[in-house]
Amino acid sequence: MRILLLIHGFNSLSQRIFVELKAAGYDVSIEFDINDALTREAVDLFQPDVILAPYLKRAIPDDLWQNHLCLILHPGITGDRGPAALDWAILRGDEHWGVTVLQAEAEMDAGPIWATREFSMRGTTKSSLYRREVADAGLAAIFEALEKLENGTKPTALNYDDPGVKGELRPSVTQKERTIDWAADTTETILAKVRASDGVPGVKEGDYFLYDAHLASGLTGAVGEIIATSGPAVCRATLDGAVWIGHMRSREGQHRFKLPATMLLAPEVPEVPLDSEGGYREISYREVGDVGYLRFNFYNGAMSTPQINRLLSAYRKACKQPTKIIVLEGGDDFWSNGIHLNIIESASSAADESWLNINTMDNLSEEIIRTRSHLTVAAMGANAGAGGVFLARACDYVWLINTIIMNPHYKDMGNLYGSEFWTYLLPRYCGAENSARIAEQRLPMGAVEAVELGLADAAFSDNRTDFDRETALRAAALATGFSQLVGAKNQRRDADEAIKPLTQYRTEELKKMRRNFFGFDPSYHVARYNFVHKVCKSRTPVTLAKHRDRRKMERKAS
């Protein structure tokens, strides 16, 4: 069956749908919803059996849904309609929510229903719910809808008289509903408002938009005032406590993108140490038996120079402990997305900051690869992209949650060459043929393919709780065979070093990166600018829109 994914952006939800539909044997192509003429052209070229829209910002043109089966993945329970389904669910504090696969018709979100799924809400951001609960439930519903389509089962018409239909038509959420009333809102309400607005659009306040809110335990002060800072975050007192605001976006000026709040405001207030018990926490370490767990929960998985330096110090400290295994856990929503493109964009010299950032990243990768005292594990319970994927492969073992999406490529960032020792790690773990395939294809990858190609060693568990539990069991098991395993690893490293020293890989990679940053071709700087400023794509890349790749389509037809 041919499925055309019609999407506004190739975000993690649509990436996961793309990966899983392809793995299930469907013929999938992608078209960005740029304008109606291009969409019609894509349909003509690909001749899909189904048009599937998992993430759209506007209605599908009438002639398309009238002539083709168009399925919409709506992030709301049965009967829910409107453009801000999840935002409302978070704002209301719903304990359960759901997704619905419905057929596009004249009235938005009111077409016949093909499948639904419900899930328990987590006290987290809208984007985090999208990446986990909505993606898990959405995929289950999509597969059910496709199965019904294949066996001829008809969808059910939406009927508000049915007592099972609990949803309703809701308008979009405006800044009026999002705005914080510091004098009246409780901490819980403030957290809900920022979480419902995280990703896009943020909570408007004065000259800024607010993001990344967390409970600040044990702090109090004059309501609405900034009473402390901690690393990137400022602490604002509420009626019944306080909240950390980690990131903000300026509405004016040159840098209208998300940055650490303390880069935008410089209040003269006491500082609570970063990562301390009562502060804003990014890096934490704990031990269980022979296993040390290092967690680095960096906002959006982006790693700036100072963040990596702190992680490197924490890693060195972990290596000095009398443990046997170090598990690098990444964060709640991302394992790592590589160097921090927003901080780089805001620097007075983006080239210099890029250079500093990638060198620091290499310091960390190198330290992990050269570790002789411990076995290292990258436990990837959340997605990773670009340098973040190769940083993980620096570990001796890479374990993935089954639902992961990885983007092991740099080229989409203006043909960036990439570093983090990928030229050593890919051939070492994946072999020459697979390395070339991974380096060339600019597509997201799921767990099965990553393990098949050697980019990871194992994949297990469908949810984070089970993944963490299973990781702990596997790490403890590794510790029992430690002496032999660490001996073999060090021998292998010595042999590799004798063939070609790590410093040589590093020098060669960084030479190419220097050219990307300081050379005459500005592609990386342009791509980074577009990424950070969220400039909409003007066409769908041929890597995704295979219907626009003449060679592929001709090969298929012959």
Residue ranges that bind ligand COA, judged by CB under 6 A: 11-12, 199, 258, 300-302, 337-342, 383, 385-387, 407, 410, 413, 416
If the CB atoms of residues 249 and 374 are measured against ligand COA, the closer one turns out to be 249
Burial of 377 (0-12, 13-18, 19+ CB in 10 A): buried
Shortest approach of ligand COA to residue 125 CB, angstroms? 9
* CB nearer ligand COA, residue 12 or residue 262: 12
> What tokens were used for 276?
């301390």
Closest CB to ligand COA among residues 258, 548: 258
Q: Residue with the closest Cβ to ligand COA? A: 385
The number of beta carbons lying within 10 Å of the beta carbon of residue 493 is 17
- CB nearer to ligand COA: pick between 8 and 40: 8
* Nearest distance from C-beta of residue 535 to ligand COA, angstroms: 12
Least Cα distance to 280 among 235, 333, 220, 331 occurs for 235
Distance CA 193, CA 173 (A): 11
Quote the least distance from Cβ 419 to ligand COA, whole Å: 8
DSSP SS3 for 14? helix
User: In angstroms, rounded to a whole number, what is the distance separating the alpha carbons of residues 517 and 533?
Assistant: 19
> Which of 389/478 has CB closer to ligand COA?
389
Q: Nearer to ligand COA by C-beta: 48 or 338?
A: 338
Report the residue number, 103 or 403, with the smaller CB distance to ligand COA. 403
Taking the complex as a whole, how short is the minimal distance between the CB of residue 232 and ligand COA, in angstroms?
13
**Minimum distance between the CB of residue 159 and ligand COA, rounded to whole angstroms?**
35
Q: How far is the CB of 436 from ligand COA (least distance, A)?
A: 20
What is the smallest separation between the CB atom of 209 and ligand COA, expressed in angstroms? 10
- In DSSP notation, 459-520 reads EE-SSHHHHHHHHHHHHHHHHHTHHHHHHHHHHHHHHHHHHS-HHHHHHHHHHHHHHHHHSS
Rg for the chain, CA atoms, rounded: 24
CA distance 379 to 399: 5
Nearer to ligand COA, 328 or 413 (CB): 413
Strand order in the sheet with 2-7: 27-32, 2-7, 50-55, 70-74, 96-103, 113-120
Tell the smallest beta-carbon distance from residue 501 to ligand COA (Å).
Answer: 23
Q: Give 482's contacts (C-beta < 8 A, 6+ positions apart).
A: 290, 324, 325, 375
Report the DSSP pairing between strands 241-250 and 258-260. antiparallel
